[in-house]
C-alpha cells in the first residue's frame, strides 16, 4: 500500500524519488527533486507534495493524516522536501 502511494506521488509530482515510512503514529514523506528549484518553484512543489501525499496516502494506505512538520533544503544536487504527518483516527 505504501509502495503504491509513493509511486503515485512520484509520478504526480514528476520527481525522481519519493520515500515513505511509518514511525510510531507518524508518516514521513521524503521527496527528492534532482534539480535546483527557484524559490517560487520550491513553494509550489511543497504544496503539490502535501496535497498529493494526503490524497494518495488516504486512497492507497487508508490513512487519516494531519501535517505536523515540513522542511526543505536545496543543494547543487537538487532539493529535498520532508513532510511529517500525524496519523489521526
Torsion, CA 55, CA 62, CA 18, CA 87, rounded to 10: 100
Instruction: Locate the domains of the chain by residue range.
Output: 2-87
Of 16, 79, 86, 25, give the one whose Cα is nearest residue 54. 86
Distance CA 1, CA 9 (A): 12
pLDDT, position 41: 92
pLDDT, position 61: 87
Of 32, 22, 1, 6, give the one whose Cα is nearest residue 84. 22
Which positions of the chain have pLDDT values less than 50?
none
Does domain 2-87 sit in CATH 3.60.21? no
Question: pTM value?
Answer: 0.89
pLDDT, position 2: 81
Amino acid at each position: 500500500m505504501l509502495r503504491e502511494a509513493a509511486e503515485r506521488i512520484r509520478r504526480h509530482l514528476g520527481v525522481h524519488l519519493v520515500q515513505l515510512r511509518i514511525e510510531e503514529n507518524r508518516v514521513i514523506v521524503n521527496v527528492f527533486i534532482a534539480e535546483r528549484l527557484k524559490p517560487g518553484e520550491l513553494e509550489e512543489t511543497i504544496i503539490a507534495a502535501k496535497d498529493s501525499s494526503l490524497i494518495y496516502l488516504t486512497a492507497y494506505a487508508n490513512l487519516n493524516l494531519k501535517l505536523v512538520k515540513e522542511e526543505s533544503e536545496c543543494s547543487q544536487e537538487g532539493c529535498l522536501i520532508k513532510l511529517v504527518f500525524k496519523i489521526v483516527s
